Amino acid sequence: MTRIDDVARLAGVSTATVSRALRGLPTVSAATRRRVLAAAEQLQYAVSPSASRLAGGRTGTVAVVVPRITRWFFGTVVEAVEEFLHDSGYDLLLYNLGGREQVRQRVLRTANLHKRVDAIVLVATPLRPADLTALAELDLPGITISSGSTVPGWPCVRIDDVAAARTATRHLLDLGHRRIAHISGDPTDELAFTTHTDRRRGYREALRRAGLRPDPSLDMESQFTIDGGNQATVELLARGEPPTAIFAACDEIAMGAMTALRDAGLRVPQDVSVIGVDDHDLSGVLGLSTIAQPAAEQGRLAARLLLDPLGTGTVEPYAGRVPAPRGAGGDGTTPMPPVILPTRLVVRESTAPPRAH
């Protein structure tokens, strides 16, 4: 393959000038830049990322860590992040934790990410204290999406999970429900993953504000999956008198719940109302009422906030655009308030008033 020397020779300049011209640095005359670009194009030159990274210290790559890419929220977030990163000239290294504890440790704790990426996007990734220490030692910029795991110095984009849960529960209360079950994550989870605890809190707050006392026998632990929702509902129904409504902490749980209810001969919403959180692609198909959250927008916004202080990614030889100045980012220690994006109640067919006794 052609190297930078070849381009320099053809253009009649030094390799330093080729390097500058190709990256659009302002310290190159227009005429020189034109000659360099022409030479590069003629030779089909592409920089060697390894050499560029070793010499320049920047990788033009961002690590994106998600629990499970196959879950609606994470897939949607990754898609939006991917688009923004690539449009900005960055590559995306994907890490799908898949619930495997040792994978999480390999990714987060070893110096694996060191010198491999310029920044990290952590999507709803539970962090233990040792993870935080490791991330701090990595000393990379990053951002978290959706999780309550606050990494010092990193911004966070999310929704207000407590408020979303309150709204969902209140919708059921407004319809007249009093026996409202909840299916969410494991409440005793020691990980700093606050999504499910926040949603459980919103559920309880809404009940209390309505003068009701949360009933522990209606409060189920589960995974954030269809199967999890299914199993939790089976167990819930086995406990005795079914609730008249279920608030599921996410749409996938709600879908599993709908299946279990159907299998048990209960109709939605005639016998049991169901509401979730997300507005999953398929919630419309299923007629599932939900609290819609802007997943793609959270991803896009996070990518933008992350990249703003980093400037353009890899070299774009033929684009000729000038990178934005590396504006001062945060100082890495100031605590930043999370960026909260709005949610919205979407009423479909899965919620209705309870039948009269």
Treating both helix axes as pointing N-terminal to C-terminal, what angle do 15-22 and 4-11 enclose, rounded to 10 degrees?
Answer: 100
| 26 is an interface residue for DNA by CB under 7 A | yes
Which of a second copy, DNA, none lies near 352, with the C-beta cut-off 5 to 8 A by kind?
none
**Residue whose structure tokens are 């990426």:** 117
Taking the C-alpha atoms of residue 266 and residue 269, their distance in angstroms, rounded to an integer, is: 9
Phi, psi of 65 (to 5 degrees): -110, 125
Task: Tell me which residues in 306-345 interact with DNA (CB under 7 A).
Answer: 315
Do β-strands 344-346 and 289-292 pair in parallel, antiparallel, or remain unpaired? antiparallel
15 binds DNA (CB under 7 A): yes
The residue among 29 and 70 lying less far from DNA, judged by its C-beta, is 29
Work out how close the CB of 70 gets to a second copy at its nearest, in angstroms, rounded to a whole number.
Answer: 4
Minimum gap (Å) between residue 170 Cβ and a second copy: 26
User: From residue 95 to residue 134, what is the string marking binding to DNA with x (rule CB under 7 A)?
Assistant: ----------------------------------------
How would you classify the pairing of strands 180-184 and 119-123?
unpaired
Q: How far is CA 124 from the centre of its chain?
A: 6
Residues 53-92 that bind DNA (CB under 7 A): 54-58
Q: How many whole angstroms separate alpha carbon 164 and alpha carbon 344?
A: 8
> Which residues make beta-bridge pairs with 302?
none
Q: Both tokens of residue 170?
A: 């209140």
Nearer to DNA, 54 or 324 (CB): 54
By CB under 7 A, tell whether 32 contacts DNA: yes
In a 3-state reduction of DSSP, which class is residue 63?
strand
Among residues 233, 260, 254, the alpha carbon closest in space to that of 348 is found at: 254
* Least distance in angstroms from the C-beta of 307 to DNA: 17
DSSP codes, 268-325: TTTT-EEEEEE--TTHHHHT-EEEE--HHHHHHHHHHHHHTTT---S--TTT-PPPPP
Rounded to whole angstroms, the Cα distance separating 25 from 356 reads 73
Give 242 or 256: the residue with its C-beta nearer to a second copy: 256
By CB under 7 A, which span of 14-22, 131-139, 197-205, 335-343 interacts with DNA?
14-22
Q: How far is the CB of 154 from DNA (least distance, A)?
A: 24
94 binds DNA (CB under 7 A): no
Name which of a second copy, DNA, none residue 160 binds, using a CB cut-off of 5 to 8 Å depending on partner kind.
Answer: none
- Check if the beta carbon of residue 18 is closer than 8 Å to that of residue 27: no
Binding site for a second copy (CB under 8 A): 1, 44, 46, 48-51, 53-54, 59, 61, 64, 68-70, 72, 75-76, 78-79, 82-83, 86, 91-96, 98, 103, 106, 110-112, 114-116, 226, 255-256, 258-259, 281-282, 284-286
Site residues, DNA (CB under 7 A): 1, 3-5, 12-20, 22-23, 26-29, 31-33, 45, 47-48, 51-52, 54-58, 315
